[in-house]
Structure 1
């Protein structure tokens, strides 16, 4: 869970301020010790508490005096190269806060102009009712959208030119006929022969039956009923 941003201002309540001072001073000394141990440099901390007669010195008073003497003996250029006082620190924080505020204002202005653009396009907010500042913001948003579209068109056009040409070879037409099945050990050929013979016999039997029926009919017409019946019986016996 993210910690809440702390507002850097003096704590109004005395008890809370004293408790905060003790915790922060302890943390400052701990960080100074870590910096000295990890980097192998000389670090000293001198903290004057509110209402305290003697300051708290770390790591010790003699070591702190040696480090301060070394600092004071350095040339002014080296000594004040990275020195920051309270005023400079506050000025830097104010400049950063103004920069964040300016970015937030630009984002809000762009968002309002975008909403205004859509409302003007749909007729909810007529352009004639806008003032000079609103028209200026609207024009900036429109110009930004146009530039964005132009850049996208250029990128797409470049990508289309770099793409390889499509293949011109015609696709092979797939045959609609089923594949031929090869005969195995002559079984297919024998089956085809039997099918042809059976079909031939069936056709012969149909022709003979038709001829028999015609003979019987002609015999009945001529009045020779016995001849027709005998012929039909012979054919039935022959077919059996």
Structure 2
């Protein structure tokens, strides 16, 4: 059985919000500790909150400074390789959707050519015989079908 969808909004009760922050922060730091141990990666966390005067730093300030120095010393291209903001995410999504759209358009064109060929072969004269492009597409579709049939006969 699936879980009920969680609504993410500011917790109005101050005590509950503070308690939730404390629990979530502990869970996040535990996961980060597991990630660094199991995968052997360098990581740090700096958590600012309005409840504490000083930010929480994991694993320690010295180790966090080392991780940040290592990150800053790496080339800008390497640093930004896996970083993504909203515009980069949207651009990537648009590119993927445009690729899918082009594939669907191509598939639709092929289906339209097959339909026109089938209608022409059935004697339904819906083809504009004066349109050279349409005739070329029908010729191409016929050649593809002949190749397909020839390959099936050979095998």
* Greater RCO, 1 or 2 (C-alpha within 8 Å, sep 6+): 2
Aligned to 1:223: none
| Uncovered stretches (5+) of structure 2, i.e. residues with no partner | 1-5, 11-19
Where in structure 2 are the equivalents of 1:78-117 lying within 5 Å? 78-80=78-80, 82-86=81-85, 87-117=87-117
Query: Do residues 43 (structure 1) and 43 (structure 2) align?
Result: yes
| Alpha-carbon contact 2:43-2:67 (below 8 Å) kept | yes
User: Separation in 2 of the partners of 1:95 and 1:124?
Assistant: 40
Deviation at 1:123, TM superposition (A): 1.6
Q: What TM-score, normalized to structure 1?
A: 0.41
* Distance 1:112-1:72 versus aligned 2 partners, 3 A rule: same
CA contact (8 A) 2:45 2:58 kept: yes
| Structure 1: stretches of 5+ with no match in the other structure | 1-14, 157-240
CA gap of 1:17–1:105, structure 2 versus 1, over 3 A, is farther
Residue 131 of structure 1, CA deviation: 4.6
The 3-state SS of whatever aligns with 1:69 is helix
Distance 1:145 1:31 in 2: 57
Across the two proteins, how many residue pairs are aligned to each other?
130
Give the 3 Å change call, closer, same or farther, for CA 100–59 of structure 1 in structure 2.
farther
Q: Distance in 1 between matches of 2:7 and 2:69?
A: 36
